[in-house]
Structures are given as C-alpha cells and as structure tokens.
C-alpha cells in the first residue's frame, strides 16, 4: 500500500496479547496521548495541512474510512512531498478518541466521541519506547 513513491505507509495492527513488546496500535495511542499533553498534536484537515506544509510534522495519522477522496489525496501528497511518515488506522471514531476528541465519564469510558480523519504529531512530548515502535 505505498502511495506514489518514497514514503512507506504503515497500517496499524490489531492489539497483540499482553505480555512482551508493545504493538503498533498501542504505541501509536501512547505517542498521540503524549503529544496531546504537550500540545504537539494537530487535529483536523486545516491544522494538519498547515503542519505538513510547514514541515513541522513528525508523523501523520490518516483514517482509512475517510469518505472524501480529495481529503485523502491531499494528505498523502503532502506526506510524500515532504517525506513525512503516514500511518493509516481503520476507523476515524477510534482516531478521534485517541486524539482527545471525546468526553470521559466517571468510569473512565469515552463518551461523545467525535470522528477525526487526520491528525499530525508536531511534538512527541516525553521520550518513550513507543516512539521507536
């Protein structure tokens, strides 16, 4: 699934059984959480395009179920042009939850999750082993 050239796309895998190494999905969730805390996360098309165009982005996360073809084409083209890693996740609701676009109830469960088709990590925040995965 490589889009026009140099930048490899990485599909987020299903979570591995607990025990050993961190899965790609868990690592991505941890990186997004750290970036959100450090205010280094651009969410949505406008913020993501600005960060990609200014070359401030380290990685870009795109939802596979985005139904706007021009949206996907723009993000993929900017990532290819500026050699920024592009990671695709299967669901935009899940990406919205990871990017902090939801309310957390008293039990710790996410409520009112807003879908997010794209987000960009500009600042990793705290150094962790999740960045290396």
pLDDT in tens, 7-64: 555 555 444 444 446 677 777 778 888 888 888 888 888 888 888 888 888 888 888 8
For residues 4 and 101, the model is more confident at 101
Whether the CA torsion 88, 89, 93, 98 is positive or negative: it is: negative
pTM over 0.75: no
Buried b (16+ CB within 10 A) or exposed e, 115-132: ebbbbbbbebbeeeebbe
pLDDT in tens, 56-75: 888 888 888 888 888 888 88
> Is residue 2 within 8 Å of 89, Cβ to Cβ?
no
- The residues pairing with 42 across neighbouring beta strands, listed in sequence order, are 120
Whether the CA torsion 56, 32, 38, 131 is positive or negative: it is: negative
Please compute, for residue 65, the number of CA atoms within 13 A of its CA located in the half-sphere on the CB side.
10
- Tokens in use for 128? 């962790």
SS3 content of the chain, % helix, strand, coil (to 5): 35, 20, 45
Q: For residues 46 and 36, what is the distance between their CA atoms, to the nearest angstrom?
A: 17
């Amino acid at each position: 699934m490589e889009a026009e050239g140099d930048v490899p796309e990485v599909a987020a895998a299903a979570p591995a059984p607990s025990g050993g190494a961190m899965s790609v999905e868990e690592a991505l969730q941890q990186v997004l959480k750290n970036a959100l805390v450090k205010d280094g996360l651009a969410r949505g098309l406008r913020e993501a395009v600005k960060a990609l165009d200014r070359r401030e982005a380290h990685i870009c996360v795109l939802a596979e179920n985005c139904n706007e073809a021009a949206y996907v084409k723009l993000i993929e083209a900017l990532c290819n042009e500026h050699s920024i890693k592009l990671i695709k996740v299967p669901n935009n609701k899940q990406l919205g939850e990871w990017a902090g676009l939801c309310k957390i109830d008293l039990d710790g469960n996410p409520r009112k999750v807003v879908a997010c088709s794209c987000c960009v990590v500009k600042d990793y925040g705290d150094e962790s082993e999740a960045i290396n995965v």
